[in-house]
Structure 1
């Protein structure tokens, strides 16, 4: 729970006071000073004042000459305890406490206009230019006239903020172009920049922004003109070549708060983040015929409740700052400080039923969101059983509670997955995947997949392809655990996910197997070239350099050659028939997909009726590919194709026989199938003849071995054996 405490005046009437308005005035801004009790106030572009809050008095004041203007707020370099300012857009000034005259301070003229300087306690100082370029202060001072890139020539920066993620500084700035807003996330030390487009809101536009970073995720809060606060989640990404060329993503937002005080809509002008569960909003409520009433409000975002509200009868400038549990705002014509305190967010605090703080030590806060791994099966049970389980373990949880927020329960996670943005879905599900693989976790993941698929059915635009594929690849799921997954993948034509499911699911119905086969055969080769599939099962025996790959069969391992085939057959094989077994009839991607079908389990009785419905041209293409694989296997002594998860000779022959049983009547009527069937017949007949000869050789060798055993050890002879 958060509540407002005493307030006091930090600065009386002066150049910085007075006036009402909205938005951030670049000539008036507050920044943290070199100590927790110090702040820097930049006033109307002329002066910067260092205040000691506890003493309510200024410690120093520096101003520029007449005709010069401070064009961005003065900041403190926390590493050197120096102050940094920019006047007239390009002139950089650096000075210390003991310096009294800015004219004698360090001066450097830059090559581009500066928008804002951000200083981080452990991340150094970052300089953001109006064109979107970013430099660290150290790099900039090495060559002040260095060229600064212009990344946003047609856009205007509306807000910027700097944060630390681990040991790396992250700079976020938002630009506007007409009615569009863009979000840039930059890691200056890694030279990484990502651009996003903010989803437009009908009949409303954003007024101001704030953000914070937690667990590699940027949480951007946007205050809109429709009296609502929206949340946008942006995962921090690793920079790749593909990212640089990709068009900016559109960031979807979710409603976080609807601002209302005593039933009246609060028109917000500024907002700041207090912690992960609380924000403060400064705004006003229109009063017809009178001056609007202005309020400082604190909201609990976790329970979407108004925690406290303070009336500001003398009006404000619309600006709000927050440092070290203190609010700073212009109230009337004076700079006012309002203290506040906050406690751990809980439902009791949200409804105002939190006990006195003295009793909190004796009764620690129970984190109801914490769910042990053995409880992850909860979604498979009834609501009553879950409630009883929670009640029976309340004491145990109280003892284990650490005061930190635990992972979401499965029920909470499933509810969030129904309407949260893609980024939230990905983050929460990956947390669940990272848990140890137990039976209960497997069941919970099955429920998660089912929830995601149900959302895909209701909203065709929602389809987390990469997340679904990661779940299937990292967990031993089955078709029965998520029965609609492959059906939705077929609707989305997600061939990559279908391939993974065929290779991993042991219980796929024959109807789905047939649907996958038909989808693979009907997809054009040109389209497949743009689809990323696993090629390990086919790449070792298919020539990827050209489509009509010629397979050399002059020297073979098992004794079969074209000459043998010609000697055994009275009729000369047509040229087209020869090519059927010598070149792969499908491309590499389609071959890999078809191999996944060959690996799937099936029952012949249930699959045969579906194969009879396979279009004739697709059946011929599939048979040609099976024939090609059969020839390839026959070239090897062990009849095994190279590669990972390549089809076996038994799988190939079983599918070939099954396909011929289902389609033979149709194929014999098609002229284009005549040469294929003839070639297949001749090849099989040659194989039968070849193995028959091998059996004769085996008998002769056995006889020779028997004779050798009958001879005396020192007897030599020469014998000629005729093999018939």
Structure 2
């Protein structure tokens, strides 16, 4: 299922006085996916390194001059190209400091836009519809430029697409209420003109997006009424004869977004892949009016996959480069990473097994035996530093104490001074180089904390765990110390980032968490994503009753009657007609978030079972009730897409249920108050057995189909009815 991850600010904005324009003309990718150039609406072009969120260079035209189209980067020549005052083409390199001293040429007609497809030569689109390659234009800047458009026709949107071996320029125009689309092919030159189908009277397209796939250009068009249409044009179509009447461009409705009674004013839609589109400025279906969201929709299955509320005004602008969305809102330009896995019915329904993507979980830096034995040759490429790690590090700092001096200082200095020097140490060094010293530093801090009860630096220890350079083997007393101090936030971090926690320590954490009163747990400050996941799970509305993931409330009631027996058929029918009560979480919000961390910890059944037997029967019943709550929520409702990292999977929940039953089977069977719970768990297992039995039948049928002669592919999406005898 598609997901939107934690975003960050690339730069601030200076909107115009009436807040109708963001102050950004365009954003273009530069040398690689981590560099973009941002052109503001007046005079400046700025180069940013996205991962560092800092500018690397900026160029400005003189006072009184204005940039009239967004700058682009020519990857072939390593040059930037922009247009000022409609007719002056400016070209410069990164080392040029003063823009006015760089190359510039004045052309004979007003320029609409310059586009540069990745690795191709820039093309110039003139306001009257003519198109020129940049080199051809600069060879004779004052060459006459023909007028392609009618007298009152004006360009509203344009882009450039590379299709097979040719570059195609696409632009949309308006003419007295009619809308037209032009496809200009280069080398050889040919022009196609299409007329767009009319929408409701007075409605003009809000946004266009173009992509190339399967030898066709796919155009996505969003209207103010929330309707989203797709048009497909073959790249090998014949060029239109000059003066010929425009062809009607066929279209198909792919989405009808919920916009309410009002029309959209500032919204944009962009194609992400063959099944997903990003939409900004459209209300979320379950949110109140007046809130602007960024959403990802699956067009194959008409489902909302992910959503994120954007603070401040939305300007209807959206760019996408290398799985990152760039969105101006309020006074901020934000970068939102996203992921769009391959579209399938399981993913659209939220039943696909969760995958831990690199965006959702930072790369681990714990030492591996492979690196120790084989050195740098076996080390994978250094991962890009995440925003959370960057937030604890400064890009520059003044020279301070050496590592050995900090280690000596930790043995005697007060908590405040220790925290200050450790922060300075982390800001001055590369984590790979500092890794052995961080382990020694953690050992020293833990040893002093155990020896001196008055000394305990929770913030410093949490910061060291966040570096991901530690593991349980390096500092085996760290997690037990956090349990002793009842520092549950540090316990949560250790469970998240330590891959080698022994089963005995995992069970110690489980005992501490499940013994914690809900009143005390509610006061804890925990990792926000884990708490947010439980809030979504507990507070959301119950899903539609029906067969989901092999479980339905009706089938459970039927199974209960089979096991218990003796119920009258009328009473049974009455139960079926009555909707089941909403499942209530048996533990508090924060306590559940801590238990989820235990569920996601790595373990071995053989070593974990003996320690689980030490749990009291009261705690076992409470834990089983919580696992049952998770199972019901997962089975009857799709998982929230934005919490794939901090939520246990359905398989993990079922594995823990099985282990608890194995460890305490005799006690549970002999406890009368647990009888109802065991019957429910029995019905869950029966439902899963039925589901997998049916899946086995489907698998057999699919294997037989696989043996049949393969037919020719029928297109992107089709429905076929096959009878199996």
TM-score, normalised to structure 1, is: 0.49
